[in-house]
Structure 1
Amino acid sequence: MTVVEGLPNPSSVPPVREPKETSIIRALQLLDVFMGDRTVWGVTDIARQAGLPTSTTHRLLSHLVDGEVVTKDGPDYSLSGRLFELGYQLEFTRPQGLRDVSGPFLGELFATTGLTVHLAVLDRAQLLLVNKISGLHTYQSKYHVGARYTATCTALGKSMLAFEDETETRRIIAQGLPRRTRHSLTRPADFLVALAEIRKTRLAFNREESYLGEFCVATPVLRFGKAIAALSLSGSPAQLESPQTHGLLIRIANDLSQILDRQVQLK
């Protein structure tokens, strides 16, 4: 190797290291790879999904393994049970949190209607499914606890967006209304009309807007006029058009809202 006088020897120059903050962010971003249906990954596939060099990915994964966030079994990596524990420390999953308090109300809905019941919260343009109750012979919805879904294409999401701050709702609409199926509402004017109707009736419908064959009716759980969560029922169109079912869904949501109000007042 030729060394030019006055310049440092390349072999003696230490490699440039990225800031520690960047490494932490990149390591945490690797966790997004595990968000889909696949639970076990090899380092090469993780690197490809994350768009990082394999060597960098291997180094970041070693930190996650040391931190007990990821488990390594031979060449394979998966999320650790530690994340399950941490997930239950979120405010709405802790004892006496939203998920815990709402459990009996979801049970009442399921026992009375025989339909699949969901509970969700809104996170900007997405909803996060917090709980779900179904039976051996009920309709098996495509929604899974812990997963995120486009709020504008679901009954749960629309029921909460209808009672969201108007500025925030218009910001979400301005980002674009995704087309998940041919039934999705993609025109802002149509979507705003749907939200206005939801505010009148307290009912939002998903008629195959997120998945073909998926039908839901939802209502928000309100506190001081804003939706803090939403409840929904999934089943056949005929099952979801019953006025009695609609009335029961709204009543259960109102009862849950009152219980949550009392909890806040006691704190």
Structure 2
Amino acid sequence: MTKENNEKRLLSSLQNALHILLSYSLDTPLQGITDISNALGLGKSTVHRLVTTLANEGFLVKDKETQKYRLGYSVLALSGVVTSNLDIYNESLPIVRNLVNKVDETAHIGVLDEGHVIYLLKVECNHLVRFLTHVGRRNPLHCTSSGKVILAHQETEFINNYIGSDLNGYTKNTITNPKTLLNTLTEIREQGYSTSYEELLEGVHSVAAPIRDYTGKVVAAITIVGPKQRMLQSKAPFFAKHVIEAANEISMQLGYIKRKSKI
């Protein structure tokens, strides 16, 4: 085998190993060799070899009862390194906690990730009703308040490419018409916040505002989410006020300075 072919083989193995790790989620915390093989379209022998290597390094752990594999503590160690070094995580945590205390609803910080919004941080409220959201969860942009507020501040080319793709419907309230979504994004930019009323999950409302870095670029969103019985549409101004204040405070911590318009 030539050096070039060997390098290609190693690169392919690395990519497949990463795909195996990324195939895990809260919905699929345990997977066997066959599960992974079917999900990724890889041969069982290839999966077995890579899983064995990942297990030896602590990235996967074999469950003694099911004989399936779950993520190991090596992944947790890496996630700790990432979150501890993310400015937006460190700067926003106390502000998000304060927001939750004010509105008594759960709050998230989300960022753009390959056409989705992914949650970096979550602070629960004290209510017993909780939602199936978690750190690391990826949601569509067009039917979440955080996703729409991030999408609204992207470059025109990105927005056009996104609305040109399939806008999947999740509930009867999901925006699936490109023109309607474009108009909604314009409204979001003008009012400074976004809402989602049962657009992703029935019975769930949310309000989000954009977070900017020192250059003024929108790099994340802060969201509060709750059941429609508490987060009434008529209370949107109240929730928007507090979520915008929190977003502005985080933006300032990241170095953003709002410049006054010239008269």
Equivalent residue letter for 1:180: Y
CA distance in 1 between counterparts of 2:30 and 2:200 reads 27
CA distance in 1 between counterparts of 2:163 and 2:54 reads 37
Equivalent residue letter for 1:234: V
Asked if structure 1 preserves the Cα contact closer than 8 Å seen for 2:101 and 2:125, the reply is no
* 1:184 alignment partner in structure 2: 174
* Aligned counterpart for 2:219 among listed residues 220, 224, 228: 228
Unaligned runs of 5+ in 2: 257-263
Q: CA deviation at 1:52?
A: 2.1
The CA deviation string for residues 29-84 of structure 1, in whole angstroms up to 9 with x for no partner, is: 12233124131222222222222222221111112123322123443211111111
* 1:141 alignment partner in structure 2: 131
Asked if structure 2 preserves the Cα contact closer than 8 Å seen for 1:42 and 1:77, the reply is yes
Asked if structure 1 preserves the Cα contact closer than 8 Å seen for 2:31 and 2:70, the reply is yes
Asked if structure 1 preserves the Cα contact closer than 8 Å seen for 2:54 and 2:60, the reply is yes
Structure 2 matches for 1:176-255, cutoff 5 A? 176-223=166-213, 224-237=215-228, 239-240=231-232, 241-242=234-235, 243-255=237-249
Q: What's the TM-score, normalizing by structure 2?
A: 0.86
* 2:75 alignment partner in structure 1: 83
* 1:156 alignment partner in structure 2: 146
Structure 2 matches for 1:1-267, cutoff 5 A? 19-74=9-64, 75-90=67-82, 93-95=83-85, 97-137=87-127, 139-223=129-213, 224-237=215-228, 239-240=231-232, 241-242=234-235, 243-261=237-255
Secondary structure at 2:175's aligned position in 1? coil
Equivalent residue letter for 2:104: G
CA distance in 2 between counterparts of 1:139 and 1:73 reads 31
- Structure 1 runs of 4+ aligned residues shifted over 6 Å read none
Unaligned runs of 5+ in 1: 1-15, 263-267
Asked if structure 2 preserves the Cα contact closer than 8 Å seen for 1:117 and 1:134, the reply is yes
Q: What's the TM-score, normalizing by structure 1?
A: 0.84
Percent identical residues: 29
Q: CA deviation at 1:138?
A: 5.4
The CA deviation string for residues 146-184 of structure 1, in whole angstroms up to 9 with x for no partner, is: 111111110000011111111111112222212122211
Cα distance, 1:73–1:235 mapped onto 2, change above 3 Å:
closer
Secondary structure at 1:119's aligned position in 2? strand
Cα distance, 1:259–1:222 mapped onto 2, change above 3 Å:
same
CA distance in 1 between counterparts of 2:238 and 2:44 reads 57
Cα RMSD between the aligned structures? 2.2
Asked if structure 2 preserves the Cα contact closer than 8 Å seen for 1:217 and 1:232, the reply is yes
Asked if structure 2 preserves the Cα contact closer than 8 Å seen for 1:116 and 1:138, the reply is no
